[in-house]
Amino acid sequence: MAILVTGGAGFIGSNFVLDWLAQSEETLVNLDKLTYAGNLRNLESLQNDPRHVFVHGDIGDTAQVGQLLARHQIRAVLHFAAESHVDRSISGPRAFIQTNVVGTFSLLEAVRAYWQALAPAQQAAFRFLHVSTDEVYGSLEPEAPAFTEAHRYAPNSPYSASKAASDHLVRAYHHTYGLPVLTTHCSNNYGPLHFPEKLIPLMIVNALAGKALPVYGDGQQVRDWLFVNDHCSALRTVLAAGQPGQTYNVGGWNEKPNLEIVQRVCALLDELQPRADGLPYASQISFVADRPGHDRRYAIDARKLSADLGWKPAETFESGIRKTVQWYLDHPQWVQEVQSGAYRDWVQSHYAQAGSAA
């Protein structure tokens, strides 16, 4: 038996793969298309680990997915693969519909065919865990209660709309076909291995390069911040004990405006790697025009996950952001390769045979 992870070379996916194999002897099959944010350098430590089976492929290829499910006797699928950057969805929404909606549909079809052919006991034990986002719920007013699992969907960007559509497909496959699905909605993740287009890694990388630190609008957009390793532990908990058909919100209980996040990153860099001229990194902050349809506030109520399954985050924001900034300071080569695209050359030389042989 094994588990299948889609998108396991991306930010959250690769952290989950590393976390899983640090605690389990079970084989993990990692299916990733290796688009711009899929980086197998993240998983270099697993290069010779037989428990990690990497497959270069597309969730939309139902034949390939079906073969992997049968060959490795998959007992659970964790579906991370998605286009996820809101700004990219605004300038190019088609890829988000293709991957997040059509891709999820194709994956569900392959999984359904495999699951329906299993023996009854294996069917009952099987799980399909769909990793979604709090952005499907839309925007909250400043004093409104945090999102619960019962909050109505109100997506405001092509990205969040595509994720909402995929959520509905997953729900439909449970209610129509009986597929044992689980869905999680996470808040903003941060931590190591984050592609530097998102807020925190972008601020770290730009600050160290002496570039402007662009902040949308007035910087008072509020997000709930979740350290990626805490998210991984929540997913393991939901996979092990979650009830099929249920949805679980995963949050860090850390609501903070974007400007405060940027200022905290700057303060940590001032402490850990001061500028040569002695000026504070906050002097590089630059306010730019807000993006279209920018949601003002997200906040996750994760009490259901805590009450039903006993999960809670291990990191405070202060401990998590310090670990994150220190990781980027300790891994300048990773940052350089991501920015230059050199990690793609490494993939070609180290994983060319692995992808075809798996």
Range of the domain at 157: 2-190+226-253+294-315+343-357
230 catalytic? Reply is no
Average pLDDT, the chain: 93
- Which of 73, 79, 176 is closest to 122 using CA atoms? 73
- The answer to whether residue 142 is domain-embedded is yes
Chain segment 81-113, per-residue pLDDT in tens: 999 888 889 989 999 999 999 999 999 999 999
pTM for this predicted structure: 0.93
Per-residue confidence at 208, pLDDT binned at 50, 70, 90? very high
- The answer to whether residue 278 is domain-embedded is no
159 catalytic? Reply is yes
The count of structural domains within the chain is 1
Q: Which helix (H) or strand (E) holds 30?
A: strand 27-32
* Res 356 pLDDT > 50: no
328 catalytic? Reply is no
- The answer to whether residue 162 is domain-embedded is yes
> One of 32, 134, 224, 295 is an active-site residue; which one?
134
- The answer to whether residue 321 is domain-embedded is no
Contacts of 168 (CB under 8 A, 6+ apart): none
Query: What mean pLDDT is predicted for residues 54-66?
Result: 97
Q: Which residue has the tokens 């590089």?
A: 284
pLDDT attached to residue 345: 66
Chain segment 22-56, per-residue pLDDT in tens: 999 999 999 999 988 889 999 999 999 999 999 99
> One of 135, 149, 224, 295 is an active-site residue; which one?
135
Which has the minimum average pLDDT: 33-37, 56-60, 74-78, 308-312? 33-37
Query: What mean pLDDT is predicted for residues 205-209?
Result: 95
- The answer to whether residue 35 is domain-embedded is yes
For residue 152, give the CATH number of its domain.
3.40.50.720
pLDDT attached to residue 217: 94
- The answer to whether residue 322 is domain-embedded is no
Contacts of 292 (CB under 8 A, 6+ apart): 90
- The answer to whether residue 163 is domain-embedded is yes
> One of 159, 248, 281, 328 is an active-site residue; which one?
159
- The answer to whether residue 244 is domain-embedded is yes
